[in-house]
């Protein structure tokens, strides 16, 4: 008896993703494959909020562009579609879409921050940082509350900052400086 060939489900599109019923979970789309993330824990949310506030206040004061929260999807690739939602994102003023775009933002942010959850696997987090860079993000911060580190990813490499170090916005957020101890206390 011959077995039936394996049939793969067709890729999910960004239009299908945005039409998903609200189930209280966050979803991303990676090359047409739906990925669901469980809600983040308290420490993840606290650290993410601190970073969002500090980046947001700085960006607004300097009129540098727009800051987006974790609920914002960025449409990074088409056919198959990729839509990702970082914990914090920044887009320069000259790149922000003119109209209030309904749905996903159709570009890669200039800066992305991802806060590591206790259930995240290191290889997945590293892969996600690289995929942001591949999409055109200029600076990726991977914030690890458990180890109290921030790995700064750039197209030309990465470096790790520890609790006593200062996180800089480099040429993406010129003048931004955050002593990391402020994130952890």
DSSP code string of 16-80: HHHTS---SSEEEEETTEEEEEPPP-HHHHHHHHHHHHHHHHHHHHHT-EEEEETT--EEEETTT
Residues spanned by the domain of 123: 40-184
Contacts of the segment 71-74: beta carbons below 8 A, 24+ positions apart? 71/26, 72/104, 72/105, 73/14, 73/17, 73/18, 73/28, 73/103, 73/104, 73/105, 74/104, 74/105, 74/106, 74/107, 74/108, 74/109, 74/135
Q: What pLDDT, in 10s, does the model give residues 43-99? A: 899 999 999 999 999 999 999 999 999 889 999 999 999 999 999 999 999 998 765
Query: In this structure, is residue 144 part of a structural domain?
Result: yes
Q: How many CA atoms lie within 13 A of 108 on its CB side?
A: 18
Query: In this structure, is residue 34 part of a structural domain?
Result: no
pLDDT band at 148 (very low <50, low <70, confident <90, very high): very high
Query: In this structure, is residue 19 part of a structural domain?
Result: no
pLDDT (average), residues 110-119 = 92
Q: Is 134 helix (H, G, I), strand (E, B) or coil?
A: helix
- Domain count of the fold of the chain: 1
Query: In this structure, is residue 14 part of a structural domain?
Result: no
Query: In this structure, is residue 152 part of a structural domain?
Result: yes
Query: In this structure, is residue 18 part of a structural domain?
Result: no
Query: In this structure, is residue 26 part of a structural domain?
Result: no
pLDDT value at position 1?
Answer: 46
CATH number at residue 131: 3.90.1570.10
Please say if the pLDDT value at position 138 is more than 60: yes
pLDDT value at position 7?
Answer: 65
The backbone torsions φ and ψ at residue 161, rounded to the nearest 5 degrees and listed phi first, read -105, 145
Query: In this structure, is residue 54 part of a structural domain?
Result: yes
């Amino acid at each position: 008896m011959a077995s039936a060939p394996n049939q793969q489900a067709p890729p999910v599109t960004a239009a299908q993703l945005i039409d998903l019923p609200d189930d209280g979970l966050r979803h991303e789309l990676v090359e047409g494959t739906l990925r669901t993330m469980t809600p983040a824990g308290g420490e993840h949310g606290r650290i993410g909020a601190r970073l969002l506030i500090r980046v947001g206040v700085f960006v607004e004061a300097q009129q540098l562009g727009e800051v987006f929260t974790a609920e914002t999807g960025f449409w990074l690739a088409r056919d198959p579609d990729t839509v990702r939602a970082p914990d914090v994102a920044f887009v320069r003023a000259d790149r922000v879409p003119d109209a209030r775009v309904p749905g996903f933002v159709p570009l890669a942010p200039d800066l992305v921050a991802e806060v590591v959850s206790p259930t995240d696997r290191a290889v997945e987090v590293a892969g996600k940082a690289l995929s942001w860079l591949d999409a055109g993000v200029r600076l990726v911060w991977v914030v690890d509350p458990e180890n109290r580190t921030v790995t700064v990813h750039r197209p030309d490499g990465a470096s790790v900052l520890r609790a006593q170090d200062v996180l800089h916005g480099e040429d993406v957020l010129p003048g931004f400086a955050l002593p990391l101890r402020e994130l952890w206390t």
